[in-house]
Amino acid sequence: MKLWEFVDELEDAPELKTVQQVAEGDKIQQVYANRDGGEAFYHVVTNKNGFQIFNANLDLHSKGEIPDAAATIQGVDFNARATAIYLGTDTGKVYKYAIAQREIQDS
């Protein structure tokens, strides 16, 4: 993953801000970013039933797996203040992950 810094000027090329490489053997299924988090900006990378959360500079914040190992994460959404993410699965379940506490909570 690469994060580019764009300056609002037509003459300047974007600058590469940071780069993050996933661990060997890991595959990226989908990448999500909250654009309207207000207080915090995160990127979420999913892989089957696992996920990784990166901060604005692509530093790893936390990672985890949903309780249902047979399910696949199909969608991710953030709450209004980006304090939690909701992980929707192909089995129809939704899991809430509290970012600060780094744990899945009952939703």
Quick one: pLDDT at residue 44? 93
Within 8 A by CB and 6+ apart from 14, the residues are 4, 5, 6, 7
Distances (CA, A) of 1 to 15, 73, 88: 14, 19, 23
Could you tell me the residue ranges of all domains in the chain? 2-105
Quick one: pLDDT at residue 39? 67
CA 97 centroid distance within chain: 11
Confidence grade of residue 5 (pLDDT, cut at 50, 70, 90): low
d(CA 59, CA 71): 27
pTM of the model: 0.80
Q: Domain 2-105 - what CATH class?
A: mainly beta
Quick one: pLDDT at residue 85? 95
**Residues 42-97: tens digit of each pLDDT:** 989 999 999 999 888 888 899 999 999 999 999 999 998 889 999 999 999 999 99
